[in-house]
């Protein structure tokens, strides 16, 4: 370039962002605003909403979807998706129940169930990562497979007769906190640390942001995708543990439509559906937003048909408000 | 013995022989230029060196030992680093995360040591004199800053062999100098570097030897001191190219104002005024990030603004979207062809006809494929796209040829005003002179052109008038003899008050109107 | 513990397993009428065959403060924790249509096994005790599974009747229609089909009629649309083991109110199913 | 000015691809191979499969999903998705039934139903195009809204008592071809012409290939996106017409899970889920592949639970074989 050089670059560019601006740009900001808005509306519309008992209810009711949504978040952050979560949850839960009903000790049964979830997730992951098939169609297919396997295993009947001790995971309390809520918080804590403080977490976002560039950088993308779907299988299985224990019966057809709720939670939580952007705490907020919607509309005695309409409308509004971030 | 040697490397892609028995030797402490037209195979050769493509035949030797790089990771381990021609950063991650991606320092629990990473990044940036917040997300950065992050990332590998594939394309002269300082340091340290650029003067400034490729064939290797630009160009294109700029004959009709625009960008205090005459080439000069692209996008309605008043041939027009602009005959060639210009999975033909399909509707709304193909082939010949056919998928073309496809789209569109944003970025000399000639031909037909460029020779060699941008505002309007590199840089780098870029706004508008 | 609110102060809650089926909608409307008569108020929810949702629904209703809970569980075992929550809250719980596990105060429901048995036995007789029969199954929940068992027992009593196929119509009309079309194709000599409910049988009917084959159809429920078809001459639909949703829910409400007041009452009220055939179809109504 | 002369360009340019290579590179090639493979297996496994009567059955059964999948194809080709198709189909169908039951003439009722589908689709489109919200979440929300509206409208009762003439769309025959099949073929014909011979079709793929570039080049992207979702609403309503006529009753809860079947059809048809690539005839092949799977497994008397597993496995295999094109 045959141009005069100018050593002076006087522009005061590249200032560092302030704390307030960071908060505003955090992916959790808009979900939180939406959550608080709906929370306030629900509290005003119903006297019983704010009772501590009810808030515990809400958290417990939201826990299942919230736990599943962790795995879904990993999948979505990498630019993928996992539609098989509902049936995998049901399958893992029924296997746990079946093994316990067959006399296996609860701990072993639970471990087997969790392993099964991971194996199923790993299968999804292998199809996506090594066979390079699109996640949406892989998990659509395995969704049917998991559902079928669960029904074959139980012959369609729910499995009951579980040992009393097993109810701990769904109905127990530890230091005054209900176990399902505790499990949920634990899962989120681990997910947070993994996503924000390990290299793997960094790769999850990198793959979602630009898979090709990530691969070129020398990162073994397939390996980490495999891991992501394995995690999704695991969180589905954990949800299966909680729901089976809460129902004290293995339900082969539980979890129908849960994949859509989980996706809604992740997107309400501010994640970009194309991957690369999102926060796990946002997902928690999104899941709780769905839970207060369900609970609040029930408390208000809104007719079931109208609830669908109301829920859909509120989701639309929430996304509309925070939309700049997702477009 | 050369630190790096590539021996008789060949590579075929479907329908293209990208490389045919190409050899290259680079010594420790040498900066070796790789020169060739667009599509000559430079990037392909470098990708083979870095394990991203596998050669069909041939060998890579480092310190005389044959190497087999099955992936970039392997190449890195052997001390090879690359700054890619196309960006390889992850937009959603922070600058530090990008630099250390895949090599994060970890503690005993396997958790990332953020502090250590940040310290190393700051140290690196200090050494390179780069002023970027390492914690900012990459998608907030300008193209130039992204390029420096890219460079920092490659340097952080402490590679013994460093490939720089057109690193200067998005940089200003100052920034190029900064890069050269870094490269000289590395030369002192004995690093072997391969440097790819279409800017001759850069090669003469920094390189020791130069290897020329033509159509995937090795041509020759020369000492830079023993040759000159004309000779190199002749080796590259196989014939002499005397003057890449067409005759400085202006087609501008300064009495016939085609376009007047008063635009105030969102978040800015002042309104900028732009006036464009028929047949004129109006340059937008300025430093990277000075707001030229933003202005171009605002002019075609692609970006929301606080105020936008446009007059086209004396009539007021409202442009709410690029489609409105197109309808009025204003078109834009965006600066980033991959993200903003091309539909990569489309064929050349489909890309070229995309915005004037109406021309091929013999019986609306149906498109006549035959007419479309004929028109496309004529256009591709006119801009000399090097491609197997008009139904070649555009994503497989070399960067320069992709740019030509974008240009071809606008030729038959019947536009009155064309805005070319960095039209020659990453384009070889031959193609450049073709594009310049094309621009002149267009102005001769009465079309007015706005040309945004970071290459001052291009601005001074081609433009009838120049607006200089500084901090998002037009700070000077130059014409005639004022169009001179020194004057432009003075205005572009002048320390200005953000509140009042040109003294008084009214006055500045008045000045500009008088100047134009 | 007994409640002392007046009738018109009571809040009655009912959780349905689904509300997209005339059977349950009839139940819901009958309940609404009965509740209106009392001057009380009603809240109801729709679980859509999702037991987890049903439990949430019940918890929310308890939170809202219902005095009486009628429960139409989508799963008898899984509903247990909801029953316990209600019990802990001192709200009397009566299960309707399907049994519920746990400390319930009463159950009012059809004899589902009988329903399957009666419908299939009649069909077996009408087929002259021979031929191939297929079963159009539904969502795997206890009452449905019991109907299938009852049917299989009845058919087993005819030596020359063979159950050749069992497919799932998901209790949804268009799916049942497609599945029946395929079953007819696979078994061109099919003589009879048992559908686990009337939504399925109405879908199967479309398939049978458009195939032109002579296949007898038996079903369970008593859906007015199906009963109307049954009354037509030469209808493929020959028998419906009819349930009585309105009676069922009203009895359940009465039972629950008695429990609420601490009055003596039976804890289980099995409701007989009525076999509706061409002979008595004209008189039958829900 | 001294530009190079053009004879210095030795490459044999502008050859056209051979016919065989075109076939092999056509997006319909692999779906067709998969279809034929499954077809042969089903024919061998079951004597009744090849009966003309049964093949008509298959085509008619597949018609509903095939019609819905046309709109889904448009959405997916632009890089979007439409999850609301099932409930929109049900809603349009029930409205038609409701109007006819209320005494409106069938033609008017049908037109109103189709219009309703388009309005609903246009609403989706407006949210996606103008409010720039992610399609997956918009249509997830409107899915609930449409379902709720259908149920509110009917109060949960199916609507029967339709005029006999209306059965034409579901049960009639024209020149020996059953009307549902005819409608399907017509819809595909129109879609094919639109996608391959009009500018709108080109824009659909362009938007999916690179939306930003398409916008900057002067195409009114929002307008065409609006159109795409309106088309999806329309095809869902056409499917609603067929299904309502076939059952001669308006079913507010029809179409549950149809969105997943339609997505499966599009992706089995060789489309890239990220947009920009796919063929409408591929979608037809995909939909018919699903139909022969359902039919064949039923004919073979495979147990319903096992069918889920078998169907999932075959979908996985089909995608695996054609995968290079979708990765
Ligand atoms: N992945 C690919 N698939 C098919 N063809 C390719 C691929 N990559 C490169 N090519 C072809 O190989 C040839 C060499 O391309 P390459 O990118 O190496 O050129 P270059 O010398 O770097 O050009 P430029 O100066 O434009 O960057 C071109 O004809 C190009 O079209
Ligand atoms: N590091 C940065 N962080 C945030 N914003 C930046 C940064 N650099 C530039 N900008 C913003 O980008 C805008 C100017 O960018 P634009 O692309 O229009 O400039 P340009 O003159 O065309 O330069 P380029 O050569 O990069 O295209 C300005 O609004 C400026 O504030
Ligand atoms: Mg290159
Ligand atoms: Mg620019």
Residues in chain C: 286
pLDDT digits (tens, 9 = 90+) for B475-498: 999 998 899 888 888 888 776 654
Q: Which residues pair with B259 in a beta bridge?
A: B276, B312
CA distance B430 to B425: 13
Structure tokens at B163: 């490939």
Architecture of domain A52-322: Orthogonal Bundle (1.10)
Helix axes C173-186, D221-247, angle to 10 degrees: 60
What is residue D63's DSSP assignment?
A: H
Do strands B473-479 and B465-470 pair parallel, antiparallel, or not at all (unpaired)?
Answer: antiparallel
Q: Which residues contact A208 (CB under 8 A, 6 or more apart)?
A: A76, A77, A78, A79, A272, A274, A275, A276, A277, B92
Closest CA to A217 of B98, B55, B156, B85: B98
pLDDT of residue D198: 93
3-state SS, residue B307: strand
Taking the centre of ligand 1 as the mean of its atom positions, its distance from the CA of residue B82, in whole angstroms, is: 17
Do residue C172 and residue D254 have CB atoms under 8 angstroms apart?
yes
Res. A242: pLDDT tops 70 = yes
Categorize the per-residue pLDDT at B236 as very low, low, confident or very high, splitting at 50, 70 and 90: confident
Q: Which residues of A touch C101 (CB under 8 A)?
A: 160
Cβ contacts from C onto D, under 8 A: 77
Q: State the average pLDDT over residues D171-185.
A: 94
CA distance B33 to B144: 22
Q: Whose CA is nearest to atom 22 of ligand 2?
A: B293
Task: Test B302 with D215 for CB contact under 8 angstroms.
Answer: yes
**Residue A15, pLDDT score:** 43
Q: What is the pTM of this model?
A: 0.86
Report DSSP letters for B234-249, one per residue.
HHHHSS----SSPP--
pLDDT tens per residue across span B151-210: 888 888 888 999 999 888 777 777 888 899 989 999 999 999 999 988 888 999 999 999
The owner of tokens 């099949």 is D181
Task: Confirm if B52 and B81 have CB atoms less than 8 A apart.
Answer: no
pLDDT value, residue B496? 60
The finding on whether B143 has its CB within 6 A of some atom of ligand 2 is: yes
Over range B390-403, report the average pLDDT: 86
Residue with tokens 């038609």: D96
Phi, psi of B419 (to 5 degrees): -110, 115
* Bridge partner list, B80: B161
Cβ within 8 Å of residue A133, ≥6 positions away? A127, D316, D319, D320, D323, D326, D327
Please spell the DSSP secondary structure of B79-98, one letter per residue. Answer: TEEEE-SS----TTSBHHHH
Cα torsion through C225, C230, C235, C239, rounded to 10: 120
Residue with token string 């023993």: B226
The yes-or-no verdict on residue B139 having pLDDT over 60 is yes
Cβ of D165: how many Cβ atoms within 10 Å?
A: 13
Nearest to B102, CA basis, from A215, A192, A193:
A215
Mean pLDDT over B135-154 rounds to: 86
Report the C-alpha gap between A236 and A86 in whole angstroms.
7
With an 8 Å Cβ cutoff, are B132 and A209 in contact?
no
Q: Which residue has the tokens 């509306």?
A: A41
Longest dimension (CA), chain A: 85
Question: Over its length of 286 residues, how does chain C's per-residue pLDDT go in tens digits?
Answer: 567 888 889 999 999 998 888 899 999 999 999 999 999 999 999 998 888 899 999 999 998 889 999 999 988 888 988 999 999 999 999 999 998 988 999 999 999 999 999 999 999 999 999 999 999 998 877 889 899 999 999 999 999 999 999 998 888 898 899 999 999 989 999 999 999 999 999 999 999 998 889 999 999 999 999 999 999 999 999 999 999 999 999 999 999 999 999 998 888 899 999 999 999 999 998 8
A13 lines ligand 2 (CB under 6 A): yes
**Over 90: is that where the pLDDT of B362 sits?**
no
Contact status, residue C33 vs residue C246, Cβ threshold 8 Å:
no
The structural domains of chain B, with segments of one domain joined by +, span 4-237, 244-329+416-435+443-516, 338-414
Nearest Cα residue to B476 out of B496, B456, B462: B496
Alpha-carbon distance of A222 to A203, in angstroms, equals: 11
Q: How confident is the model at residue B513 (pLDDT cuts 50, 70, 90)?
A: very low
* Residue B202 near residue B222 (C-beta atoms within 8 A): no
Protein residue with least CA distance to atom 24, ligand 1? B38
Task: Determine the longest span between alpha carbons in chain C, in angstroms.
Answer: 64
C63 chain-A contacts, CB cut-off 8 A: 48, 51, 53-54, 57, 295, 299
Question: Is C196:C141 a contact under the CB 8 Å cutoff?
Answer: no
Check CB contact of A247 with chain D, cutoff 8 Å.
no
Distances (CA, A) of A149 to A252, B200, C179, D15, D206: 9, 67, 21, 52, 41
Name every chain A residue with its beta carbon within 8 A of the beta carbon of C49.
253, 256
The backbone region for D248, taken as left when phi is positive above 0, alpha when psi lies in -120 to 50, beta otherwise, is left
Please state the rounded mean pLDDT for residues B338-366.
88
Which residue is listed with tokens 């194809």? Answer: D73
Task: Tell me what pLDDT residue A266 has.
Answer: 95
- ∠ CA B316-B320-B323, nearest 5°, is 100
Ligand of minimum distance to the alpha carbon of B34: 1
H helical segments located in chain A: 19-25, 29-45, 52-77, 85-101, 106-129, 135-154, 168-171, 179-197, 199-209, 211-216, 221-247, 258-268, 280-299, 304-321
Cα B419 to its chain centre, rounded Å, is 15
Ligand 1 atom closest to Cα of residue B46 = 18
Residues whose CB falls within 8 Å of the CB of residue C96, separated by 6 or more in sequence, listed in order: C14, C27, C70, C71, C72, C107, C108, C109, C248, C249, C252
- What is the per-residue pLDDT across B67-83, written as a single tens digit (0 to 9) for each? 999 888 888 888 999 99
- Does position D150 have pLDDT exceeding 60, yes or no? yes
Q: Supply angle C-alpha A236, A239, A242, rounded to 5.
A: 155
Degrees to nearest 5, angle at CA B311 with B310 and B315: 135
Q: What is the share, in percent, of chain B residues with pLDDT greater than 90?
A: 44
pLDDT band at residue D5 under the 50/70/90 scheme: very low
Tell whether the torsion through CA atoms of C187, C188, C191 and C193 is positive or negative. positive
Q: Are C225 and D151 a contacting pair at CB < 8 A?
A: no
Residues A234 and A114: beta-carbon distance below 8 Å: yes
pLDDT tens per residue, range D193-243? 999 999 999 999 999 999 999 999 999 999 999 999 999 999 999 999 999
Q: pLDDT band for position B398 (50/70/90)?
A: confident
- Given an 8 Å threshold on Cβ–Cβ distance, is D156 in contact with A323? no
Closest by CA to B14, choosing from D206, D24, A130, is D24
SS3 C46: strand
| Nearest in space to D135 (alpha carbons), one of D83, D87, D86, D88 | D83
Question: Which segments of B347-480 are extended strands (E)?
Answer: 417-421, 448-452, 465-470, 473-479
For C83, the closest chain A residue by CA position comes to A247
Between CA C224 and CA C284 the distance in angstroms is 9
Question: Half-sphere exposure (CA, 13 Å, Cβ side) for C57?
Answer: 30
With contact defined as beta carbons under 8 Å apart, do D234 and D160 qualify? no
Res. D112: pLDDT tops 90:
yes
- Average pLDDT value for chain B: 87
Q: Do chains C and D touch (3 or more CB pairs under 8 A)?
A: yes
pLDDT digits (tens, 9 = 90+) for D8-59: 344 444 445 566 666 667 778 888 888 999 999 999 998 889 998 899 989 9
Do B84 and B169 contact (CB within 8 A), yes or no? Answer: no
C-beta B134 within 6 A of ligand 2: no
Q: Is D323 exposed, middle or buried (0-12, 13-18, 19+ CB in 10 A)?
A: middle
Q: What is the pLDDT of residues B446-479, one digit of tens each?
A: 999 999 998 888 899 899 999 999 888 999 999 9
CA gyration radius for chain A? 22
D295/C182 Cβ within 8 A: yes
Is A260 an 8 Å CB contact of chain C?
no
> Residue B454 belongs to what H/E stretch?
none
Note the pLDDT of residue D211: 95
Question: Do B354 and D202 lie within an 8 Å CB cutoff?
Answer: yes
Question: Which DSSP string corresponds to D71-113?
Answer: HHHHHHHTT---TTHHHHHHHHHHHHHHHHHTT--HHHHHHHH
Tell which D residues from 10 to 69 touch C, by Cβ distance under 8 Å: 46, 48, 51, 53-54, 57, 61, 64
State the residue for tokens 């597993």.
D309
The tokens for D110 are 């049908």
Residue D26, preceding peptide bond in cis (omega within 30° of 0): no
The distance of B509 to chain D (nearest Cα, Å) reads 29
Indicate the CATH number of B4-237 among 3.40.630.150, 3.40.50.300, 3.30.70.890, 3.40.30.10.
3.40.50.300
pLDDT band at B222 (very low <50, low <70, confident <90, very high): very high
Which residue in A45, A249, A258, A308 has the most chain C C-beta atoms within 10 A of its own C-beta, making it the best mutation to test that interface?
A249
**Contact list, B409 vs chain D (CB under 8 Å):** 217
Note the helical H segments in chain D: 19-25, 29-45, 52-77, 85-101, 106-129, 135-154, 168-171, 179-197, 199-209, 211-216, 221-247, 258-268, 280-299, 304-321
Superfamily of domain B244-329+416-435+443-516: P-loop containing nucleotide triphosphate hydrolases (3.40.50.300)
Strands ordered across the beta sheet of C160-168: C160-168, C130-137, C190-195, C216-221, C237-242, C274-277
User: How far from each other are the two terminal CA atoms of chain D, in whole angstroms?
Assistant: 47
Q: Say if residue A140's pLDDT is above 60.
A: yes
Nearest-angstrom CA–CA distance, A13 and B288? 12
Q: Who's near C211: CB < 8 A, 6+ residues apart? A: C181, C184
- Atom number in ligand 2 closest to CA B290: 21
Protein residue with its CA nearest to atom 1 in ligand 2:
B141
Predicted confidence band of residue A103 (pLDDT cuts 50, 70, 90): very high
């Amino acid at each position: 370039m045959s141009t005069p050089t100018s050593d002076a670059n006087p522009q005061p560019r590249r200032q560092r962002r302030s704390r307030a601006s960071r908060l505003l740009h955090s992916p959790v900001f808009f979900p939180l605003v939406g959550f608080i808005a709906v929370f306030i509306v629900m509290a005003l519309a119903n006297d019983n909403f704010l009772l501590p008992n009810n808030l515990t209810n809400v958290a417990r009711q939201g826990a299942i979807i919230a736990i599943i949504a962790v795995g879904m978040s990993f999948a979505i952050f990498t630019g993928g998706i996992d539609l098989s979560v509902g049936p995998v949850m049901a399958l893992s839960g029924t296997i746990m129940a079946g093994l316990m009903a067959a006399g296996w000790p609860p701990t072993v049964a639970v471990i087997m169930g969790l392993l099964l979830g991971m194996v199923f997730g790993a299968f999804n992951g292998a199809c996506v990562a090594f066979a390079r098939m699109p996640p949406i169609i892989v998990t659509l297919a395995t969704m049917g497979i998991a559902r079928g396997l669960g029904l074959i295993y139980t012959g369609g009947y729910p499995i009951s007769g579980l040992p009393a001790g097993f109810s701990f995971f769904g109905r127990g309390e530890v230091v005054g906190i209900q176990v399902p809520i505790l499990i949920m918080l634990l899962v989120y804590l681990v997910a947070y640390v993994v996503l924000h403080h390990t290299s793997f977490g960094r790769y999850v976002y990198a793959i979602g942001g630009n898979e090709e560039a990530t691969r070129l950088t020398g990162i073994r993308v397939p390996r980490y995708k495999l891991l992501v779907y394995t995690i999704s299988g695991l969180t589905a299985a954990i949800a299966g543990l909680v729901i089976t224990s809460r129902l004290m019966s293995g339900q082969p057809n539980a979890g129908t439509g849960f994949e859509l709720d989980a996706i809604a939670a992740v997107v309400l939580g501010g994640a970009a559906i194309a991957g690369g952007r999102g926060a796990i705490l946002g997902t928690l907020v999104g899941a709780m937003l769905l839970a207060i919607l369900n609970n609040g509309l029930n408390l208000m005695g809104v007719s079931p048909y109208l609830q669908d309409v109301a829920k859909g409308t509120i989701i639309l509004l929430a996304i509309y408000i925070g939309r700049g971030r997702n477009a | 013995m050369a630190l790096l040697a590539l021996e008789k490397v060949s590579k075929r892609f479907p329908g293209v022989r990208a490389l045919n028995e190409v050899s290259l030797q680079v010594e420790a402490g040498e900066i070796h230029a790789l020169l060739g037209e667009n599509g000559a195979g430079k990037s392909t050769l470098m990708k083979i060196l870095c394990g991203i493509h596998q050669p069909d035949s041939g060998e890579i030797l480092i310190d005389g030992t044959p190497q087999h790089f099955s992936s970039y990771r392997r190449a890195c381990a052997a001390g090879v680093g690359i700054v890619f021609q196309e960006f390889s950063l992850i937009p959603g991650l922070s600058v530090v995360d990008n630099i250390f991606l895949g090599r994060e320092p970890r503690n005993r629990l396997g958790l990332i040591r953020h502090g250590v990473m940040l310290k190393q990044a700051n140290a690196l940036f200090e050494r390179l004199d780069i002023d970027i917040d390492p914690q900012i997300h990459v998608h907030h950065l300008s193209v130039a800053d992204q390029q420096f992050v890219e460079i920092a990332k490659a340097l952080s590998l402490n590679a013994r062999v460093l490939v720089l594939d057109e690193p200067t394309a998005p940089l200003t002269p100052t920034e190029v100098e900064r890069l050269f300082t870094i490269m000289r340091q590395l030369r002192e340290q004995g690093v072997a570097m391969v440097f790819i650029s279409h800017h001759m003067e850069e090669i003469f400034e920094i390189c020791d030897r130069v290897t020329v490729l033509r159509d995937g064939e090795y041509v020759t290797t020369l000492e830079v001191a023993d040759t000159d630009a004309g000779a190199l160009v002749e080796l590259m294109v196989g014939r002499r190219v005397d003057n890449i700029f067409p005759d400085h004959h202006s087609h501008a009709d300064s009495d016939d104002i085609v376009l007047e625009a008063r635009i105030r960008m969102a978040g800015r205090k002042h309104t900028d005024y732009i006036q464009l005459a028929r047949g004129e080439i109006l340059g937008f000069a300025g430093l990277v990030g000075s707001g030229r692209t933003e202005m171009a996008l605002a002019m075609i309605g692609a970006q929301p603004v606080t105020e936008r008043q446009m007059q086209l041939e004396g009539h007021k027009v409202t442009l709410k979207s690029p489609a409105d602009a197109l309808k009025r005959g204003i078109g834009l060639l965006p600066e980033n062809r991959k993200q903003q210009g091309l539909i990569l999975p489309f064929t050349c033909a489909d890309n070229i006809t995309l915005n004037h399909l109406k021309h091929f509707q013999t019986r609306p709304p149906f498109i006549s494929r035959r007419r479309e193909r004929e028109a496309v082939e004529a256009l591709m010949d006119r801009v000399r796209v090097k491609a197997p056919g008009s139904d070649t998928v555009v994503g497989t073309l070399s960067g320069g040829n992709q740019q030509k496809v974008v240009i071809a789209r606008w030729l038959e569109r019947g536009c009155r005003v064309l805005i070319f944003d960095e039209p020659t970025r990453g384009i070889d000399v031959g193609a450049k002179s073709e594009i310049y000639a094309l621009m002149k031909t267009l102005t001769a037909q009465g079309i007015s052109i706005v040309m945004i460029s970071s290459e001052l020779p291009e601005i001074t060699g081609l433009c009838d008038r120049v607006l200089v941008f500084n901090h998002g505002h037009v700070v000077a309007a130059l014409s005639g003899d004022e169009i001179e590199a020194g004057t432009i840089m003075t205005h572009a780098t002048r320390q200005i008050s953000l509140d009042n870029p040109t003294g008084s706004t009214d006055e500045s508008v008045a000045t500009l109107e008088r100047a134009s | 513990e007994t409640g002392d609110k007046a009738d018109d102060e009571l809040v009655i809650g009912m959780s349905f397993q689904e509300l997209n089926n005339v059977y349950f909608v009839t139940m819901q409307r009958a309940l609404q009428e009965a509740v209106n008569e009392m001057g009380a108020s009603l809240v109801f929810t729709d679980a859509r065959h999702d037991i987890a949702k049903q439990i949430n629904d019940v918890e929310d209703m308890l939170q809202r403060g219902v005095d009486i809970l009628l429960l139409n569980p989508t799963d008898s075992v899984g509903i247990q924790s909801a029953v316990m929550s209600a019990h802990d809250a001192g709200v009397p719980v009566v299960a309707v249509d399907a049994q519920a596990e746990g400390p319930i105060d009463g159950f009012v429901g059809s004899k589902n096994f009988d329903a399957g048995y009666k419908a299939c036995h009649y069909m077996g007789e009408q087929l002259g005790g021979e031929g191939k029969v297929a079963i159009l199954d539904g969502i795997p929940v206890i009452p449905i599974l019991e109907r299938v068992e009852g049917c299989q027992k009845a058919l087993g009593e005819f030596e020359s009747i063979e159950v050749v196929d069992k497919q799932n119509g998901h209790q949804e009309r268009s799916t049942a229609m497609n599945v029946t079309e395929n079953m007819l194709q696979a078994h061109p000599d099919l003589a009879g089909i048992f559908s686990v409910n009337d939504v399925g049988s109405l879908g199967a009917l479309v398939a049978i009629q458009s195939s032109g084959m002579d296949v007898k159809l038996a079903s369970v429920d008593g859906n007015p649309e199906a009963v109307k078809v049954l009354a037509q001459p030469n209808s493929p639909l020959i028998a419906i083991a009819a349930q009585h949703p309105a009676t069922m829910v009203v009895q359940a409400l009465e039972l629950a109110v008695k429990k609420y007041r601490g009055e003596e009452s039976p804890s289980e009220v099995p409701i007989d199913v009525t076999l509706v055939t061409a002979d008595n179809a004209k008189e039958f109504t829900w």
